[in-house]
Structure 1
Amino acid sequence: MPHTLTAPVRHEADVRKSRFLALAAPIESPEAAQLFLDASRDPQATHNCWAWRFGAQYRFHDDGEPGGTAGRPILQAIESQGYDRVAVMVVRWFGGIKLGTGGLARAYGGTAAECLRLADRTELREECRVLCDCPYADMDRVQARLLAAGARIEHAAFDGQGVNWRLVVARADVAALEALYTDQTRGQGRFEVEPGA
């Protein structure tokens, strides 16, 4: 079962007079990864190299270091420790001694790996999306119960009948949430797993 970080974490290392700073954070989407990387970039640094994984999607960047010596080793650090939905930025301030391609890969990958080893992690639950609707009269009560049971509202649309929600729920909790929803709406609401979700 893959894991993600419970909170952002950082780790510093000095390798032959170069300073490396790894910054890692959990991400909720590829767009969130880009926001984290933009916020973590240090324009005064020599290089800002990074990688992220979100499910089957991943990206990495060497930021001017020789190809394959920075971004890919950071991604390998993420994958080798079983992480998903994680972004890692490793910032380097050059100290005057060249590390060579092997040294660079070990420095970037090692700094990222140690950062992730030190982090608190949590197991990722497989999620799916559920489409449901609810009359206005029941909306506040039903919403409170669903949120308390661990559902997240991804989207809400309102019409003449009530609210239509798209929920994100743990796949393992679908049956229990459906029973709760049916009870709270007295069988009047729609509750269906989104096709392909």
Structure 2
Amino acid sequence: MPRTLASPATAELEVRRSRFLGFALAVSGREEAAERVALLRAEHPGANHVCWALLAGGHSGMSDDREPRGTAGRPILEVLRHHDLDGVLGVVVRYFGGVKLGAGGLVRAYTDAIATALLHAEIVERIPETTLTVTADYADAERIRRWAEGEGFAVPDIDYGATVRLAMVLPQARSAEAADTIRDLTGGRSSPEG
């Protein structure tokens, strides 16, 4: 079963006067990964390279950011794969110290930077989630909300109008059970969508 990170993890290494800052971050997909890389670029304007690799939802991607081809992004990606991670972005920011490391030295440095960050990471099982949307009257909506929160499901969005529309985020494996429970709680007046 794929795993992900409970929280971000970082590490810093120095290799022949170059500084390598490793970041391991949980992300939802490519869009969030691109935002995180841009943010790290902005936070480290003096860095020579911001190299990264992504594994998220069956998609992967990587960038050597002007390092010799295959010496940065690929090693980061292989470390993420080795740990069986998904929904994870690995980024290594390099401040060049004036000494060239050669292809082998770069591969080792980028591998070590992300592997060291992952040593400090809390890695957890990745549970696929889904969102159920329910439209209900006010009394049923409150009953559904209390039940969902009691089950530990997130209810990030509630829209009050003529009726109430609730969005619940829950483990995908529990969606059929949740739909049945919602129908029971409301006497069949509400059924989830999605």
TM above 0.5, yes or no, is: yes
1:19 equivalent in structure 2: 19
Cα distance between partner residues in 2 of 1:149 and 1:125 = 15
Cα distance between partner residues in 2 of 1:154 and 1:85 = 20
The letter for the 2-side match of 1:138 is D
Cα distance between partner residues in 1 of 2:191 and 2:6 = 33
2:90 equivalent in structure 1: 88
**Which segments of 5 or more consecutive residues in structure 2 lack a partner in the other structure?**
none
Helix, strand or coil at the partner of 1:68: coil
* 1:183 paired to 2:149: no
2:47 equivalent in structure 1: 45
TM-score normalised according to structure 2 size = 0.87
The letter for the 2-side match of 1:86 is V
Helix, strand or coil at the partner of 1:28: coil
Helix, strand or coil at the partner of 2:190: coil
Moved runs in structure 1, 4+ residues, more than 6 A? Answer: none
Native 8 Å contact 1:9 1:25 kept in 2 = yes
Report how many aligned residue pairs link the two structures.
192
1:163 equivalent in structure 2: 164
**Which segments of 5 or more consecutive residues in structure 1 lack a partner in the other structure?**
none
Alignment of 1:18-167 (within 5 A): 18-41=18-41, 42-153=44-155, 160=162, 162-167=163-168
**1:34: Cα distance to partner?**
2.0
1:3 equivalent in structure 2: 3
Helix, strand or coil at the partner of 2:136: strand
Identity of aligned residues (%): 36
Cα distance between partner residues in 2 of 1:81 and 1:73 = 13
Cα 1:54–1:130, aligned 2, differ >3 Å: closer, same or farther?
A: same
TM-score normalised according to structure 1 size = 0.86
Cα distance between partner residues in 1 of 2:102 and 2:64 = 14
Native 8 Å contact 2:135 2:165 kept in 1 = yes
